[in-house]
Amino acid sequence: MIHNEVSQIGQTLNQMYEMAEQMRQMEESNRQMLNQLAQREANVVQQIQTLQQMLQQSNRAVQNLQNQIQGTFNQSLVSQNSLRGTGTYSNTDINVGPTHNFAQGMMRTSAPMVDPRTMDPSTYESSLQRFNI
pLDDT 10s digits, 11-22: 999 999 999 999
Amino acid at 108: R
pLDDT 10s digits, 43-57: 999 999 999 999 999
Provide the whole-model pTM.
Answer: 0.43
